[in-house]
């Protein structure tokens, strides 16, 4: 699964770092670094982090239905 | 109304073509489907990849934490598009409403969105640019090449140009323990975008992290060995540096060459559009079927004196793409203007730099919170008595507050008794932007409505 953080919005509340530390980390006091591609098995963690973000800055791929994989951007 | 019927028909079974398969192109495609467009959608991109995100390329990717191929952008929704990737658009036939492709094909459209962005300005000397070890950083492939090079433990990397990209590259080098020299023609890093006062802070930051920073210096030549590998760089002060990697970070060039002769108002400064993202033709008449969005577009902004502004900012591409897409399939009265508050971020040397508004328009600044010496501060930028921009170092939570001041045309110096205000925040100082007639690298906002050598724009505050 793919994700992106709108870092204009992000205010370094670090909720995501708390909930999915393998995916999100702070670099220095408030620069957020994240993994833009995460194993499907971590989807629950990432969705929880996205839901907890106070400014809703985290965008996650919807679960990919198999029939789309061929036509949509592959 | 006949016009409404035409728009309804277009929404139902029109043909929309998007050229440029990156951030703006993808977000526009999603928005078109969100708006209920059910016709055919073709997205043309010269890179062979699905849309991916560029900001990580100079950050996580260069640090070796994320692979370049793992930067694909998530989708907000399925877009059911016909993706033609790995093929460039080579021409636009406005009368025939066709986009011409490099493989000889042509694609017809009822509405066209141009989102071809920018590319790195190449090193001007071609044989030097072709030396093994000379890099630029704009694409996924560029990032893969440069990351491989950094992993090979070069003796010294030379970064040419200390704009945002150059500074982030230098930061990544230091974090990887690679020796780096930064050569910047201006007086300080980031000076074109943020001015000399904040630029001086950026310079200290670089030096504290062990960057060999040389300002007021130009690289005059890159020299290779007989095998064509970069060996040395010659600087304008006569210094010769032994380097095996050089990264050319001299800003960007807009991807408009393919539109030459098309009759659109497209040139090196981008594609001129109205606030609704409709492109102008060469007569200055707005077209109704050709739109532009993202880094390639330049549009008049009411908050900034209606100057034509082009922004090489991630958030602008997202927002402008959505507006363009909406307007492409909406009748006149429902169209919306692109009134985005300019905003961007950069992270370098462990500091989160954020900006709102257009700092490069300002003549003065005031440190309203924190202190420059601590490298934790907000500087408010003033232009003719109003707040026009703000820049924060590690002050992300405050940027929304300053955005509001800019929107309200709040007086400068700002009157609010800020928390954490220090002695240096009591009096405004000149912001220290270089003479706009002199070229600098990497200013990520270009004011293009007036000759860059004169800044005579008269600003009328919105509340007057
Ligand atoms: C290394 C790097 C770091 C960045 N960091 C930040 C940051 O920290 N914060 C921030 O706000 N912004 C940042 N940006 C800027 C941000 O990535 C851009 O604003 C954004 O990518 C613009 O999107 P776009 O779709 O308009 O253009 P682009 O992303 O440039 O995409 C244009 C696409 O069109 C393609 N194209 C060009 N010509 C043709 C043609 N003739 N036919 C077909 N396809 C064509 C190009 O190859 C490209 O794929 C960064 C950019 C880079 C390169
Ligand atoms: S939770 Fe949201 S605001 Fe906080 S660090 Fe993560 S992305 Fe940023």
Residue of B73, B352, B396 lying closest to A2 (CB–CB):
B73
pLDDT by residue for chain B (464 residues), tens digit each?
A: 567 889 999 999 999 999 999 999 999 999 999 999 999 999 999 999 999 999 999 999 999 999 999 999 999 999 999 999 999 999 999 999 999 999 999 999 999 999 999 999 999 999 999 999 999 999 999 999 999 999 999 999 999 999 999 999 999 999 999 999 999 999 999 999 999 999 999 999 999 999 999 999 999 999 999 999 999 999 999 999 999 999 999 999 999 999 999 999 999 889 999 999 999 999 999 999 999 999 999 999 888 888 899 999 999 999 999 999 999 999 989 999 999 999 999 999 999 999 999 999 999 999 999 999 999 999 999 999 999 999 999 999 999 999 999 999 999 998 876 667 777 777 899 999 987 655 554 445 555 543 333 333 333 334 43
User: What is residue B305's predicted lDDT score, i.e. its pLDDT?
Assistant: 83
- How far is the centre of ligand 1, averaged over its atoms, from the C-alpha of B439 (Å)? 22
Q: Alpha-carbon distance B267 to B296, whole Å?
A: 10
Rounded distance, CA B385 to CA B411, Å?
A: 6
Question: Which DSSP string corresponds to B46-78?
Answer: SSSS--B-SGGGGTTTTTTSS-GGG-BPPPSS-
Question: What pLDDT shows up at residue B52?
Answer: 98
B318 and A CB contact within 8 Å: yes
Partners of B352 on chain A (C-beta within 8 Å) are 12, 28-32
Assess B8–A contact: CB distance below 8 Å, yes or no. no
Q: Which two structure tokens, joined as six digits, stand for B59?
A: 């950050």
Q: Determine the Cα–Cα distance for residues B230 and B149; give it in Å rounded to an integer.
A: 12
Q: Determine, for residues B81 and A72 on separate chains, whether the beta-carbon distance falls below 8 Å.
A: yes
B259 Cβ closer than 6 Å to some ligand 1 atom: no
Contact B350 A27 (CB under 8 A): yes
Q: Do domains B1-117+255-334 and B120-252 have the same CATH topology?
A: yes
Tell me how far apart the alpha carbons of residues B187 and B203 are, in angstroms, rounded to a whole number.
9
CB B144 within 8 A of CB B255: no
The domain segmentation of chain A, as residue ranges, is 2-61
Which of B114, B140, B154, B153 lies closest to B61 in space, CA to CA? Answer: B140
Pick the CATH number of B351-430 from 3.30.390.30, 3.80.10.10, 3.30.450.20, 2.30.30.280: 3.30.390.30
**pLDDT at B2 (0 to 100):** 63
| Cβ-proximal residues to B459 (8 Å cutoff; 6+ apart), any chain | B304, B305, B383, B384, B386
Q: Is the pLDDT of residue A61 over 80?
A: yes
d(CA A27, CA B350): 6
User: Do the chains contact at A28 and B347, CB–CB below 8 Å?
Assistant: yes
Listed residue (B368, B362, B367) closest to B381, CA to CA: B362
Q: Architecture of B1-117+255-334 per CATH? A: 3-Layer(bba) Sandwich (3.50)
State the pLDDT at residue B276.
95
The domains of chain B are located at: 1-117+255-334, 120-252, 351-430
Which pLDDT band, with edges at 50, 70 and 90, does A35 fall under? very high
The CATH-assigned architecture of domain B120-252 is 3-Layer(bba) Sandwich (3.50)
Neighbour order of strands in the sheet with B429-430: B343-348, B351-357, B386-393, B376-383, B364-371, B429-430
CATH of A2-61, one of 3.30.70.20, 1.10.10.60, 3.30.365.10, 3.30.300.30: 3.30.70.20
């Amino acid at each position: 699964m793919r994700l992106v953080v709108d870092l204009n919005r992000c205010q370094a509340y670090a909720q995501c770092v708390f909930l999915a530390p393998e995916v999100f980390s702070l670099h220095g006091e408030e620069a957020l670094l994240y993994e833009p591609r995460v194993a499907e098995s971590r989807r629950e963690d990432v969705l929880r982090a996205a839901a907890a973000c106070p400014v809703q800055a985290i965008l996650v791929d919807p679960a990919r239905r198999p029939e789309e994989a061929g036509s949509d951007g592959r | 109304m006949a016009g409404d019927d035409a728009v309804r028909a277009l929404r139902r079974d029109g043909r929309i073509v998007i050229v440029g398969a990156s951030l703006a192109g993808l977000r526009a495609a999603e928005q078109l489907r969100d708006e209920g467009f059910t016709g055919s959608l073709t997205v043309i991109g010269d890179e062979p990849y699905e849309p991916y995100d560029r900001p990580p390329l100079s950050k996580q990717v260069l640090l070796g934490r994320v692979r370049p191929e793992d930067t694909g952008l998530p989708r907000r929704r399925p877009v059911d598009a016909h993706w033609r990737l790995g093929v460039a658009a080579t021409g636009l036939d406005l009368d025939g409403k066709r986009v011409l492709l490099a493989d000889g094909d042509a694609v017809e459209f009822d509405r066209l969105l141009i989102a071809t962005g920018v590319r790195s300005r190449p090193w001007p000397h071609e044989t030097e640019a072709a030396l093994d070890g000379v890099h630029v950083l704009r694409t996924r492939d560029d990032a893969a090449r440069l990351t491989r090079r950094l992993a090979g433990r070069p003796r010294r990397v030379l970064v040419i140009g200390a704009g945002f990209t150059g500074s982030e590259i230098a930061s990544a080098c230091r974090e990887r323990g690679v020796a780096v020299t930064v050569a910047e023609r201006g007086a300080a890093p980031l000076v074109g975008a943020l001015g000399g006062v904040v630029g001086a802070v950026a310079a200290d930051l670089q030096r504290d992290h062990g960057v060999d920073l040389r300002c007021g210096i130009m690289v005059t030549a890159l020299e290779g060995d007989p095998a064509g590998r970069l060996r040395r760089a010659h600087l304008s002060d006569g210094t010769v540096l032994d380097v095996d990697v050089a990264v050319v970070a001299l800003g960007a060039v807009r991807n408009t060459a393919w539109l030459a002769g098309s009759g659109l108002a497209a040139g090196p400064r981008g594609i001129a559009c109205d606030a609704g993202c409709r492109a102008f033709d060469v007569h200055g008449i707005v077209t109704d079927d050709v739109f532009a969005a993202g880094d390639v577009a330049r549009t008049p902004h009411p908050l900034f004196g209606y100057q034509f502004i082009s922004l090489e900012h991630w958030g602008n591409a997202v927002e402008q793409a959505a507006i363009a897409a909406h307007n492409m399939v909406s009748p006149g009265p429902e169209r919306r203007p692109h009134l985005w508050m300019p905003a961007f971020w950069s992270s370098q040397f462990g500091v989160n730099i954020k900006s709102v508004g257009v700092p490069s328009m300002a003549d003065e600044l005031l440190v309203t919170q924190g202190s420059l010496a601590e490298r934790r501060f907000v500087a408010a930028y003033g232009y003719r008595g109003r707040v026009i921009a703000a820049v924060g170092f590690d002050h992300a939570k405050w940027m929304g507050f300053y955005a509001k001041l800019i929107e309200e045309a709040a007086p400068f110096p700002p009157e609010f008794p800020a928390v954490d205000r220090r002695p240096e925040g009591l009096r405004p100082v000149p912001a220290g932007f270089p003479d706009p007639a002199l070229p600098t690298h990497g200013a990520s906002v270009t004011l293009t409505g007036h000759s860059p050598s004169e800044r005579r724009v008269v600003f009328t505050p919105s509340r007057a």
